[in-house]
Structure 1
C-alpha cells in the first residue's frame, strides 16, 4: 500500500488496509483500544490488480482508497472508494478512468485529501510524467490533468500540508521533483527540482509546519535525508534497512517531534525521533519487537488518546502486530502483540 495504511477513523477506532491477491482488506478495532474484527473486503466484489493500491486520510477522518482494476485484455482503470467509519462498509469502487484514457497500468497511484475532503489521485502516465484527477466539490471527478515531468520513477509521495494544499514528490534518475498547489482546487504546479542521488522506492512525505512539508528519502550511500523545498537536503542518520520509513509528528515529553520507523536489516522495527524541523539535532535508531519477514512493512498513527501506535504487516505470513507507547516519559513501548 502506498500511503498511510494504519488510520484512526472518525470514531476513534484504528483500521488497517492491506492488499490481497485481488482486493484490499480492512481490519478494525471493535472499540478504541479493544480487540480487532476479522478482515473484510473493501469496495464490494470487484477484482483488483494485486499490490497497486494507495490510501489517504482527510481532516474529517474519512479514509480514501484508490487502486487499479482490470477492465479488459491488457486494459486497466483506476477506481476509488471512501470509508467513512470503520464499523460501516466502505463505498463500492467507482471508476475514475485512466491517465492516458486507455491502456494498462502505468504505475502505482498516490493519494492525498485536501482541506475540504476532496481526494487527489496521482499516477505516472505513459509519457513518463505525472497525471492527476481530483474529486469535484459536488461529486464526480475532474478530467485527468497532465502535470508534466519526465522519467518519473513509479512510486510517488503525495501529502497535504497544514495549509490544506496538496503537494507531490517524485524521484527521477538524477534527483527529485516537487509539485504544489498554488490555491485550493487548482492543479499542483511543478515548482522545484533537486539534483540528489535518490534510491527509488524510499520516498515518504510529511507535513512538518504551517509553511512546509518534508520529504524523507534514502540516498545511494544509504543515508536517510530530509528535504524541504527551498532549502538543501539534510542527512539525518544511516538507514536502518532497505525500505521507506514511516513518519509521524507527535509530542514526546512536551516537545513537537518527528518519529520515524523502519524495518531494520536485523528484521526488527527501528525507531528514531528528533525535534520537528531540526535535523541538525540528530537522531539515532532504537530497535523493538521480534524479527520480521523481509516483506514486512511498518506504519505509524495516533490512537484516540493521542498515543503513538505502530503496526507491522507481512503479506507472506498474514501476521499483523501492534504496539502502543506507554504512559511514561520517553518512547517506551508496550510489548508487541498479534491482532
Structure 2
C-alpha cells in the first residue's frame, strides 16, 4: 500500500483500505467514532495485481489506483473514486500504461490537487517517472514522461497546502523532487538532493503553506526530514524498516507533527515534535501489543481532531485502532481490534 490507507471521510467516518488477494477491501465506521462494518470489495470484480495506492483530496474523496492484468505479460493501471466511506466505490476504470503497453513497471502513487483531480505517478520501464492526471471535464490526460534516471520504486506523492502536487523519488545516492509551478500544469523537476537514502522509505507531508516535508531513512539507519531549498535534518534513529506514517495535529495547543512506525521490537513507536522545528528533537515511545512482521501503521485525526492510529497486518487481516485520550500529552487509549 502506498499512501495514507487510514482516512477520515467528509462525513467524519474513518475508513481503511486494505489488500486481500487480488482485491482491495474497505472497512468503515458505521458512524463517526462508532462500530465498524464488515470489509467490502472496492471497484467491482476485476482482479488486481498486489499493491495499490491511495490519495485523498480536500473534498474528502479517496482515489485508488492499482495494476490489473490485461493479457499475457501485460498489465494496465486502473482508477476508482470512493466518495463516502460507507458507500460503494466506483468501478475500476482503465487509465492506461506509461509505455502504452507492457507489464507492471512500479508501484503507483496518487495525489489530489485543490480542484479534486487525481494525479497518478509511476516509475516507467526506462526507470524515470511518468504521470497522468484527470482532466477538468472528465477523462484523463495523456501519459507524460517527467524524466528522471535510475529511479527506485516507492514514489512519495503529496499535495501542498497551496493545492499544488509534488512527487519525490529515491535514486542511487539521492532524492529527486518534482513540483507543479501552477495549478493544472505538469510537475517539473526542481531539485535533486545528494543523500544516502534507503529506497522504499519515503513519506511526504504538507507542513506549511510554502513547504512539504519528506521523511526518509538514510543508509546509517537515521530518520531524516528534508524540505526542498533547505538541507536535510537528522531527527532520530529509525524505529524500524519502511516508511513512517506522519500527520500534523494539535497537541496541547501546539502545531505538531506526529510520526509512527512499527519498531524493531514489533510494537508501534510514536515520536512528536513541533512542525518544521526538527532542532527541537524527538524520541520514540512504544505502545500497544507486538504486531506481525508485515504490519504497517497509519495515522489520521478523527472528527473531533483527536489523533487516531491504526495498525494492519495484510497477511492476517488484523486491524487494531487507538485514539488519543482527552488529557494532556500523547496518552493513548488501549488498542482495540476492529
TM-score (norm: length of structure 2): 1.00
Question: What's the RMSD between the two structures over aligned residues?
Answer: 0.5
Question: Deviation at 1:86?
Answer: 1.1
| 2:160 equivalent in structure 1 | 161
Residues 130-169 of structure 1 correspond to what in structure 2 (within 5 A)? 130-169=129-168
3-state DSSP of counterpart to 1:280:
helix
Tell me how far apart the structure 1 counterparts of residues 24 and 315 of structure 2 sit (CA, whole Å).
Answer: 15
The 5 A counterparts of 1:112-191 are: 112-191=111-190
1:35 pairs with 2:35: yes
CA distance in 2, matches of 1:255, 1:194: 30
**Secondary structure in structure 1 of the residue aligned to 2:279:** helix
2:53 and 2:43 map into 1 onto residues whose CA distance is 14
1:250 maps to which residue? 249
Unaligned ranges ≥5, structure 1? none
1:318, distance to aligned residue in structure 2 (A): 1.1
Q: Give the Cα separation in 1 of the matches to 2:94 and 2:44.
A: 13
Q: Using the TM superposition, give the Cα deviation of residue 61 of structure 1 relative to its aligned residue in structure 2, in angstroms.
A: 0.4
The secondary structure found in structure 1 opposite 2:331 is coil
List gaps (5 residues or longer) in structure 2. none
Q: Which residue of 1 aligns with 2:26?
A: 26
Number of equivalences: 338
What is the distance in 1 between the residues matched to 2:122 and 2:19? 18
Q: d(CA) in 2 for partners of 1:79 and 1:11?
A: 26
Alpha-carbon distance between aligned partners in 2 of 1:109 and 1:261, rounded to the nearest angstrom: 22
Match of 1:269 in 2: 268
Query: Offset at 1:232?
Result: 0.5
Deviation at 1:244, TM superposition (A): 1.1
The runs of at least 4 consecutive aligned structure 1 residues that moved more than 6 Å come to none
Report what 1:283 is aligned to. Answer: 282
Q: State the alpha-carbon separation in 1 of the partners of residues 21 and 149 from structure 2.
A: 31
Question: What do the CA deviations read for 1:128-153 (whole angstroms, capped 9, x no partner)?
Answer: 10000000001000000000000000
User: Residue in 2 aligned with 1:46?
Assistant: 46
Alignment of structure 1 residues 80-99 onto 2, 5 Å = 80-99=79-98
How far does the alpha carbon of each residue in 1:284-306 deviate from its partner, in whole angstroms, 9 at most, with x for none? 00000000011000000111111
Q: Which residue of 2 aligns with 1:10?
A: 10
Shift of the alpha carbon at 1:243?
1.8
Deviation at 1:315, TM superposition (A): 1.4
Distance in 2 separating the partners of 1:19 and 1:76: 18
Question: What is the CA distance between 1:2 and its match in structure 2?
Answer: 0.1
Q: What secondary structure, in the 3-state scheme, does the structure 2 residue paired with 1:3 have?
A: coil
How far 1:7 moved relative to its partner? Answer: 0.4
* Correspondence for 1:335: 334
- Please give the per-residue CA displacement for 1:140-182, whole angstroms capped at 9, x wherever unaligned: 0000000000000011000000000000000001110000000
Given the two structures, how large is their TM-score scaled by the length of structure 1?
0.99
Matched, 1:219 2:211: no
Residue number in structure 1 paired with 2:56: 57
How far did 1:10 drift?
A: 1.2
Aligned residue number for residue 199 of structure 1: 198
TM-fit CA distance, 1:216: 0.2
Output the CA distance in 2 between the equivalents of 1:194 and 1:138: 37
Query: Could you say what secondary structure the match of 2:36 adopts?
Result: coil
Residues in 2 aligned to 1:281 and 1:90: alpha-carbon distance in whole angstroms: 42
